[in-house]
Amino acid sequence: MKQKLLLTLASATVLASSINAAQATNGYFQHGYGVKAKAMGGASIAVVDGALSTANNPAAMVWVGNRVEVGFDYFRPDRGATVGGQDFSANGDASFLLPEFGANYMLRDDLSIGLAIFGNGGLNTTYDTPIFSSQFQGTDFATNTGVDLAQIFISPTVAYKINENHSIGVAFNAVLQYFSATGLANFCGFTENGMPDGMQIACPSDPAAAVEGLTDQGEDWSHGFSVRIGYQGQLTDWLRVGAYYQTRTRMTRFEKYENLFAEDGDFDIPAHWGGGIAVTPFNGTLFAFDVQHIEYASIPSIGNLNTGFTAPAAFGFGPALGDPDGPGFAWRDMTTFKFGIEQRITDDFHLRAGFSHGRQPIRDTETAFNVVAPGVIEDHVTFGFSWKISESWDVQGFYMHGFEETVRGSSPDNPFSAGFADLRMKQNSFGFTFGWNF
C-alpha cells in the first residue's frame, strides 16, 4: 500500500509541474472538474464523480473508495474582438493540452483522504498585432497584444461519513497562479506614472519607464490558500443532495504588474458556492441539476468598473490603473445552471450528456479592457461515456462545445468609452481519464 501511495504522490508532482490551465468557460472557471462532471454539463455537486470529486464537492470523496485517476483534456477556444471597426483574431496558439489528477484512499469505511490537482484559466489571448501599443512603434514595447493567466489548485482532502447516508468533507487548496502580458503599452497614461496633474494624460518619455509594472514584464507568479467545504446526503432511495462553499483565495500580488491590476497587482480568486440534486427515477438512469454562483464582482481587479477609460478619467479625475479602486475587468457575479443525465447501457458501459447556461459576466458598457479577456461564453452542451475495462481499470471520455457568444460594445464609435469594443468566443474540448480502483 505504501508503494501505491508513493506512486500516487509521484504522479501528482509530475502533473503539478506541467499543468497549464487555459479553459475559459464560466468566466475563467471550468464548466466542470473531472471527466464525468464535464460530460454532464458540470452537474456534479450531488454526484459521486470519482477521485476528482473534491474539486466539485469534497464530501463526495468518502464514497469514492480507493481510486487514482489521470486525465487529459484537449481544449481549443476561438476568440477575438472588433476594435474601432477592425476585426482581430486572438487565437495565436489556440490549442491546449491540460492534465488533471485525483487520488483517494479509505482510512476507514467512514473516513477518507484524497488529493486532486486541477486548474482554472482562460484570461488567455494572443493577438497577431499590437492593438494597444501602436504609439510605441519603433521601441521594444510595440509588441503584439496578449495576456496569459493560469491557476493551479493542489487540494488535499478529508471526508467523513456522519452515518450511512450523509457525509461532509473539507479540501485545503494550495494555489499557484502565473500571469504575463504584452502589448498594453498604450495604457501607460492611465497608470500612476502617467496620470496628470492638469487636464491631459501623458506617458513618461522613457518607454521602459512607461511600461514598468504594466506590460511586457515577463512571467510573474503568486500563491495563496483557500478552503472548500461540502456536504452530501442520500435523502431517499431516489434523491441525493449536495452543497459546497469555497472561501476567497487570498493570493500574493503580481509585483511585476502592480500598475495593471487594482490593489497594486492583487488578483485574488473569488469565493464561490453551489447546491445540487441527483435523482434516479428509473433503474440505471440518473438526472443531476446544479446551481453555482461565482463572486467575480467582489475581487477589485476583476469586478472594478473601467473608470480609467471614461472621459472624466482621461482629464485626470479618475483613479489610476493599479489603485485600490482602479479599473478592473468589470465582471459581474456569475450564476450558472447545469443539467446532466447518465444512462447505464450495460453494467460496464454508461452514456452521459449535459447542458449549462450562465449569466453573462461582461457588460456591454465595459468591453474595452476585456479585449484581452473575452470570457463571454454562456451556453455549453456536453456528451460522454465511461467503460469499465476490468474490475480495476476503466476509461472515461467527454466532449464539450461552447456555443459562440458575442458581446457588442455599447459605444463602438467613442474611443473614450469603456464600451468601444465587440468581444466574441466559441470553443470545443474533449478529454479522457484513466481510472484505477485498488
Cell numbers standing for residue 124: 488567455
Q: What stretch of H or E contains 32? A: none
Domains of the chain by range and CATH? 2-128+148-180+225-437 (2.40.160.60)
Tell which residue, 394, 389, 384, has the closest CA to residue 50. 394
CA pair distance 45, 32, nearest whole angstrom: 10
**pLDDT computed for residue 200 by the predictor:** 57
**pLDDT computed for residue 9 by the predictor:** 45
Q: What is the pLDDT of residues 333-388, one digit of tens each?
A: 999 999 999 999 999 999 999 999 999 999 999 998 899 989 899 999 999 999 99
Q: Extract the residue ranges of the chain whose pLDDT is less than 50.
A: 2-3, 5-19, 21, 311-314
**pLDDT computed for residue 33 by the predictor:** 95
**pLDDT computed for residue 256 by the predictor:** 97
Q: What is the pLDDT of residues 97-129, one digit of tens each?
A: 889 999 999 999 999 999 999 998 656 788 988
**pLDDT computed for residue 201 by the predictor:** 65
pTM over 0.85: yes
Instruction: Determine if residue 138 is left, alpha or beta; phi over 0 gives left, psi from -120 to 50 gives alpha, anything else beta.
Output: left
CA pair distance 187, 344, nearest whole angstrom: 55
**pLDDT computed for residue 307 by the predictor:** 60
Beta pairing class for 334-346 and 349-358: antiparallel
Q: What is the pLDDT of residues 369-378, one digit of tens each?
A: 899 989 899 9
